[in-house]
Amino acid sequence: MLEVRNLTKAFGGKSALRDVSFKLEKGEIYGLLGHNGAGKSTSLGIILGMVEPDVGEVEIGGISVQRNRGQALRKVGAIFEAPAFYDYMSGWENLRILMGYSGGFDARAAREVVERVGLTKRISSKVRTYSHGMRQRLALAQALLPEPELLLLDEPTDGLDPEGIKWFRDFILQLREERGMTVLFNSHLLAEVELMCDRVAILREGQRVFEGSVNRIRDGVPTYQVSLETWEKGAEIVRSLGGEIIAQDKIALPAEIDPAQFVERLVHAGVKVREFARVRRSLEDVYMEILDGKGSPN
């Protein structure tokens, strides 16, 4: 659905992106992570044709954005952090104007979308009277109106309250479920990315330093929290199984070792087990490892 190939871009001699590539399959939700200035927004700008890459190309549905932007963006919707509407006009007028740039305004379709995002009562009010959450709903409405197959989300939940964030997440997941929509999700909120995305890429200083599925990140090397009465004996068993002692109460075991067997061996050896639990790595753990330079680029 979206293919980003070898993007390289510098602004005034300062490198913003270096040979970044990634690919989104239809119906996939893909997270783009990185610190400020890592190149996420530049990537999005190039995908939308707002920024011209020095090297590389973006294809949406097989059509090059750089060579045929109008055709490539026909079925694309985008939402930005703090979306800038024409504040002195109503939400409805904003939709009408923005849809004019997409080739036409269908009032019936607009009413349906407005209803769906829950803005019907306030759609005739001036946008300057809207709360941040309402602006995001209007942003979602304008992004959905061209009936997009690809949705680009740039920090869409920044500044929303927890209820707003949950509503937004559920809405996007529902869209994917109903329409098989492909989503590129650019965010700082790692927990949100983990909950929404199938795969993620991490950018650091303009380079892609990680790409992988969220499940793979979660599973990784099995790690366990253990509390034993006699630690020395337990550590010996861990090592004999090819495991690793990470800390006094934390161990890693090879994936092929059944944790039940491990506990059984401890009990047989007379080691009293007070606590044993699987520790799941979060996306945040992986993100911090990679940005601290501990993780290996792939």
The residues of the shown chain that bind other proteins, judged by CB under 8 A, are: 11, 41-42, 44-45, 48-52, 69-74, 76-78, 80, 82-86, 88-89, 93, 96-98, 100-105, 142-143, 146, 152, 154
Closest approach, Cβ 161 to other proteins, in A, equals 22
H/E/C letters for each residue in the chain? CEEEEEEEEEECCEEEEEEEEEEECCCCEEEEEECCCCCHHHHHHHHCCCCCCCEEEEEECCEECCCCHHHHCCCEEEECCCCCCCCCCEHHHHHHHHHHCCCCCCHHHHHHHHHHCCCHHHCCCEHHHCCHHHHHHHHHHHHHCCCCCEEEEECCCCCCCHHHHHHHHHHHHHHHHHHCCEEEEECCCHHHHHHHCCEEEEEECCEEEEEEEHHHHHHCCCEEEEEECCHHHHHHHHHHCCCEEEECCEEECCCCCCHHHHHHHHHHCCCCEEEEEEECCCHHHHHHHHHCCCCCCC
Cβ nearer to other proteins, comparing 98 with 228: 98
Residue at token pair 């979602």: 140
Decide whether 71 or 261 has the Cβ nearer to other proteins: 71
Smallest gap from Cβ 242 to other proteins, in A, equals 48
Residue 92 beta carbon to other proteins: minimum distance, rounded to whole angstroms: 12
- The least distance separating other proteins from the CB of residue 142, rounded to whole angstroms, comes to 7
Q: Whole-angstrom Cα distance, residue 237 to residue 13?
A: 56
Supply the minimum distance, in Å, between the C-beta of residue 186 and other proteins.
Answer: 9
Residue placing its CB nearer to other proteins in the complex, 78 or 217: 78
CA distance 145 to 205: 35
Residue 84 or 255 with smaller CB distance to other proteins:
84
* Residue number, 134 or 290, with CB nearest to other proteins: 134
Shortest approach of other proteins to residue 97 CB, angstroms?
A: 4
Here the tokens at position 5 are 């190939």
CB closer to other proteins out of 152 and 196:
152
In angstroms, the CA 150 to CA 143 distance is 10
Question: Residue 79 Cβ, how far from other proteins at the closest point, in Å?
Answer: 8
Q: How buried is 203 (Cβ within 10 angstroms: 0-12 exposed, 13-18 middle, 19+ buried)?
A: buried
105 versus 276: smaller Cβ distance to other proteins:
105
**Shortest Å distance, C-beta 78 to other proteins:** 4
